[in-house]
Amino acid sequence: MSYQRQFARTLRVGVVGVGSHAYRNVLPALHFLPVRLVALCDLDEALLERTALEYDVATNATYTDAGRMYAEAGLDAVLICAGPRQHPPLATAALRVGLHVWMEKPPAMRAAEVEVMIAERGDRVCAIGFKKAYMPATRKAKELIALPEFGALRSLLAVYPMTIPRDGAGVLERGDHSNWLANGCHPLSLLIALGGEVDEVTTLLGAGEEATGVVHLLFRSGASGVFHLAGGSPAGYAGERYHAYGEGRALTIENSTKVAFHRGIPFDYQTQREFTAPGTESGSVVWEANHNLATLENKALFVQGMYNELKDFCDAILDGRAVDPGTLEFGLQVMRVYEAGLLRQGRPVAIEETTSRGAG
Ligand SMILES: NC(=O)c1ccc[n+]([C@@H]2O[C@H](COP(=O)([O-])OP(=O)(O)OC[C@H]3O[C@@H](n4cnc5c(N)ncnc54)[C@H](O)[C@@H]3O)[C@@H](O)[C@H]2O)c1
């Protein structure tokens, strides 16, 4: 079943924060989920009332105080889409009155706040909407990486238009909501979804206060992850891509819409004369979104994982299981890597240093 009107079992949900992202993506996604939208909350009364009218939510089910909505609206679950400063207090208050909680990324400003939510979670489902970890392309990549023929994952590369503030410690001390938090958590969540737990982070920066460069992740498995900060990308350029390399196999995700599994060809350096090989057992296999039909699988809500993250949350509640992968523990990993990326700047070695050592 894919449409709200088809589901036999539904959850009563309320939404906190009906701003830009909620309006463009979260509320529309509800059409395809086993939910009934019964209450809305926002600090902006005009926005709240107009949104309630559009979604046929009764005026007496609109709230400017989330605590009141949690207490009065008879909810099973709340979807929170307010921002990382608001997510921890709004989520914690909901968990304390027994609601299941889904919140947008980023879950918080600091990793320690996620630990507080873990302590408050009890037996409730509490999920974070890391859409890139839920993309169909990411799910396919995970499946391919798990194939015996892929071998052990050796390295990952992410390319994403992004910079990092040079004064990382200051960002954390002041509580700045930098783009490294707002959008850096997207590729970080994908890298962690594919590579698993991270043990060590090193950042190497180019010039400037908002620097391009490289964030290196050393995964617990021993695999190496490189996040290329492609600041300066042309606006709107679909340059986001990911590569994963195993032992004799590789895969790529391009523009969220295309996954390729690279098997190579029988190859001999001295004698190879053609780049093709007979049959279909070699070369690359490509999966690409079909944009010719008005079906669901090519809509941004589905391609970018926003449907999957919310469906996983609903199913986890209805089936009495945990979400996968958008747990608070997963969010804690992302936030720790986010913080480490700000703090752990690698020691540059000046070229002169090598010369003088050699001479010495
Ligand atoms: N997954 C994505 O692709 C994506 C894209 C954009 C934004 N986001 C995330 O969505 C969240 C919201 O971003 P946005 O761009 O919609 O911001 P926004 O400012 O447009 O909307 C936030 C809304 O939350 C309301 N709000 C704030 N505190 C509140 C409180 N205590 N109680 C009730 N309402 C409250 C505000 O009044 C506002 O209307 C952020 O966490 C952002 O990172 C995700």
| Ligand 1 atom with minimal separation from the 89 CA | 31
- Indicate whether residue 183 lines ligand 1 (CB < 6 A): no
Share of the chain above pLDDT 70, in %: 99
Please, which residues bridge with residue 355 across strands? Answer: none
Whole-number average pLDDT of the chain: 96
pTM of the model: 0.96
In this structure, what DSSP letter does residue 24 have? I
| Residue 299 CB burial class (10 angstroms; 0-12, 13-18, ≥19) | middle
233-252 per-position pLDDT tens digit? 999 999 999 999 999 999 99
Q: What tokens were used for 280?
A: 């279909």
| Residue 270 CB burial class (10 angstroms; 0-12, 13-18, ≥19) | exposed
Mean predicted confidence (pLDDT) in 111-117: 98
Ligand 1 atom 31: the closest Cα is on which residue?
86
Report whether pLDDT(258) > 60: yes
Which one-letter amino acid corresponds to residue 4?
Answer: Q
- Indicate whether residue 16 lines ligand 1 (CB < 6 A): yes
Report whether pLDDT(359) > 60: no
- Indicate whether residue 22 lines ligand 1 (CB < 6 A): yes
- Indicate whether residue 133 lines ligand 1 (CB < 6 A): no
How many A from CA of 17 to the centre of ligand 1?
6
| Ligand 1 atom with minimal separation from the 82 CA | 24
Report whether pLDDT(356) > 80: no
Residue keyed to tokens 């008879």? 74
Task: Give dist(CA 75, CA 326) in Å, integer.
Answer: 21
Instruction: Label residue 349 by pLDDT band (50, 70, 90).
Output: confident
- Indicate whether residue 225 lines ligand 1 (CB < 6 A): no
In this structure, what DSSP letter does residue 235 have? T
89-108 per-position pLDDT tens digit? 999 999 999 999 999 999 99
139-181 per-position pLDDT tens digit? 999 999 999 999 999 999 999 999 999 999 999 999 999 999 9
Ligand 1 atom 36: the closest Cα is on which residue?
17
The domain spans of the chain are: 4-131+309-327, 134-305+338-343
Weakest mean pLDDT among 65-74, 139-148, 270-279? 270-279
Q: What tokens were used for 141?
A: 């990549």
Task: Give dist(CA 110, CA 181) in Å, integer.
Answer: 10
R_g over Cα of the chain: 23
- Indicate whether residue 231 lines ligand 1 (CB < 6 A): no
CA end-to-end distance (rounded Å), the chain: 72
Q: What tokens were used for 305?
A: 């994982």
| Residue 359, number of CB atoms within 10 A of its CB | 6
Edge-first strand order for the sheet with 11-16 is 62-63, 35-41, 11-16, 77-80, 100-104, 126-129
Instruction: Label residue 352 by pLDDT band (50, 70, 90).
Output: confident
- Indicate whether residue 135 lines ligand 1 (CB < 6 A): no
How many A from CA of 196 to the centre of ligand 1?
28
| Residue 1, number of CB atoms within 10 A of its CB | 9
| 3-class DSSP assignment, residue 330 | helix
Q: Give the count of alpha carbons within 13 A of 83, CB side only.
A: 10
Report whether pLDDT(122) > 60: yes
| Ligand 1 atom with minimal separation from the 304 CA | 3
Report whether pLDDT(87) > 90: yes
Report whether pLDDT(271) > 60: yes
Task: Give dist(CA 202, CA 340) in Å, integer.
Answer: 8
- Indicate whether residue 200 lines ligand 1 (CB < 6 A): no
Most ligand 1 atoms within 8 A of CB, residue of 18, 27, 43 to mutate? 43
Ligand 1 atom 6: the closest Cα is on which residue?
21
How many A from CA of 83 to the centre of ligand 1?
5
Task: Give dist(CA 60, CA 307) in Å, integer.
Answer: 28
Q: H or E element: which one contains 153?
A: none
- Indicate whether residue 117 lines ligand 1 (CB < 6 A): no
Residue-level pLDDT at 333: 98
Instruction: Label residue 27 by pLDDT band (50, 70, 90).
Output: very high
Residue keyed to tokens 């982070």? 201
Task: Give dist(CA 95, CA 82) in Å, integer.
Answer: 16
What is the CATH architecture of 134-305+338-343? 2-Layer Sandwich (3.30)
179-222 per-position pLDDT tens digit? 999 999 999 999 999 999 999 999 999 999 999 999 999 999 99
| Ligand 1 atom with minimal separation from the 83 CA | 41
Residue-level pLDDT at 33: 98
- Indicate whether residue 300 lines ligand 1 (CB < 6 A): no
- Indicate whether residue 21 lines ligand 1 (CB < 6 A): yes
Instruction: Label residue 1 by pLDDT band (50, 70, 90).
Output: confident
28: left (phi over 0), alpha (psi -120 to 50) or beta: alpha
Report whether pLDDT(360) > 60: no
- Indicate whether residue 44 lines ligand 1 (CB < 6 A): yes
Residue-level pLDDT at 358: 62
Task: Give dist(CA 27, CA 15) in Å, integer.
Answer: 8
How many A from CA of 23 to the centre of ligand 1?
10
Task: Give dist(CA 265, CA 338) in Å, integer.
Answer: 39
| 3-class DSSP assignment, residue 91 | helix
Q: What tokens were used for 252?
A: 């790529």
Residue-level pLDDT at 347: 81
The CATH code of the domain at 4-131+309-327 is 3.40.50.720
CB 174 within 8 A of CB 222: no
